[in-house]
Amino acid sequence: MTVDNAALSQLRAAHGAMKQELHKVIVGQDAVIDQLLIAVLCRGHCLLEGVPGLAKTLLISSLAQTLDLSFNRIQFTPDLMPAAITGTDLLAIDPQSGARSLRFAKGPLFANVVLADEINRTPPKTQSALLEAMVERQVTAGGQRHALPEPFFVLATQNPVEQEGTYPLPEAQLDRFMFMVRVPYPTRAEEREILERTTSNHSATIQAVLGGPALLAAQAAVRSLPVADTVYDYVLALTRGTRVRGDAPLPFLQELVSWGAGPRASQFLVLGAKAHAAVAGRDHVAIEDVRAVAHPVLRHRIVTTFAAAAEGITSDRIVDRLLAEVDPAAGVGQGQPGLAQKRA
């Protein structure tokens, strides 16, 4: 596949312009913004997790403005029904003839960018309706299937599951999110700037940077980047190394991991690495690009044991150890993860 250098140049320019627009309303959070933009460039869904008040909703709604695409926000609550997000059939009466017919009224999922706010506060049956939209890019109502517009992204937020009144997302739905992005507290300097902006007359207008056709072209440019065999082998080493029931688990994981990442993790590692390389100004994918997206791709796909939880070992710490122990230069082409050799 030929790399379209002109398209890559336009992509990098658009990426920089989108960050500039987002920083009109978002203070700091550079890593969060970068990961969110990479997910969009890969046509992937993204889940942002953080405590209330960290501007998760503001970030996603501002991103939709920079994309110049249709946008809907869904506030998930414990009493939200599936039909409230997918749409439903309504009885329509012709005023002339009096004939009755069913007319499908589209729900808020029919938008290019859908903000699923506090997604873990709604019950499983509504989460399942969202899962169909994420997987099939369509909804089913009254036995009829209705295609969703393209491009289509679900950008969701959730509060940490230890808070009351939440429903943990099922593993099948978590796996459909390309990234899980952790939103940290701002630094002291950032919080000082937030105070100044939000307690004064400061206002900002976000300009659209990318429309639908331009975004689709950028996504195609990302997929055109070549990937070397060594990078593919490194991705497989990382993913397969998390599986304690696989053919090549890393020894330190045996007591810490119940289930590892599936094949979709490998796909998203490669796609995320391609987008990371593109926005960094390179026309090929390097090992460092894979490492840059390893945490948001893997953290929600590694299920830790009770022993790990008791010791305070999170999936992020396991990914840290994984990156430290898997050697990109070892086991290439053998289907086995290489462990970094200890140097004297």
Structure confidence by residue, pLDDT tens digits, 274-321: 999 999 888 889 999 999 999 999 999 988 888 888 888 888 999 998
Q: Quick check: is 96 in a domain?
A: yes
Residues 35 and 172 both lie in one domain: yes
Q: How far is CA 153 from the centre of its chain?
A: 9
Q: Could you tell me what percent of the chain has a pLDDT over 90?
A: 31
Residues 207 and 235 both lie in one domain: no
Residue 140 has pLDDT above 50, yes or no: yes
Instruction: Write the CATH number for 72.
Output: 3.40.50.300
Domain around 120: 5-218
Residues 203 and 292 both lie in one domain: no
Q: Quick check: is 186 in a domain?
A: yes
Residues 204 and 290 both lie in one domain: no
Q: Quick check: is 339 in a domain?
A: no
Report angle CA 335, 337, 341 to the nearest 5 degrees: 135
pLDDT band at 332 (very low <50, low <70, confident <90, very high): very low
Q: Tokens for 223?
A: 């997929």
pLDDT band at 333 (very low <50, low <70, confident <90, very high): very low
Taking residues 25-46, what's their average pLDDT? 92
Q: Quick check: is 120 in a domain?
A: yes
Residue 330 has pLDDT above 80, yes or no: no
Out of 201, 218, 235, a domain closes at 218
Out of 193, 218, 243, a domain closes at 218
Domain count of the chain?
Answer: 2
Residues 158 and 230 both lie in one domain: no
Residue 178 has pLDDT above 80, yes or no: yes
Residues 128 and 257 both lie in one domain: no
Out of 218, 237, 260, a domain closes at 218
Q: Quick check: is 296 in a domain?
A: yes
Residue 273 has pLDDT above 60, yes or no: yes
Residues 173 and 274 both lie in one domain: no
Residues 230 and 214 both lie in one domain: no
The closest of 319, 341, 342 to 330, measured between CA atoms, is 341
Instruction: Write the CATH number for 245.
Output: 1.10.8.80
Taking residues 248-269, what's their average pLDDT? 83
Q: What's the pLDDT at 177?
A: 93
Taking residues 156-171, what's their average pLDDT? 75
Taking residues 151-166, what's their average pLDDT? 78
Residues 149 and 240 both lie in one domain: no
Q: Quick check: is 336 in a domain?
A: no
Residues 194 and 235 both lie in one domain: no
Residue with the larger pLDDT of the pair 38 and 98: 38
Residues 89 and 121 both lie in one domain: yes
d(CA 329, CA 310): 34
Q: Quick check: is 341 in a domain?
A: no
Q: Quick check: is 203 in a domain?
A: yes
Residues 18 and 137 both lie in one domain: yes
The whole model's pTM is what? Answer: 0.86
Residue 214 has pLDDT above 50, yes or no: yes
The closest of 179, 253, 206 to 71, measured between CA atoms, is 206
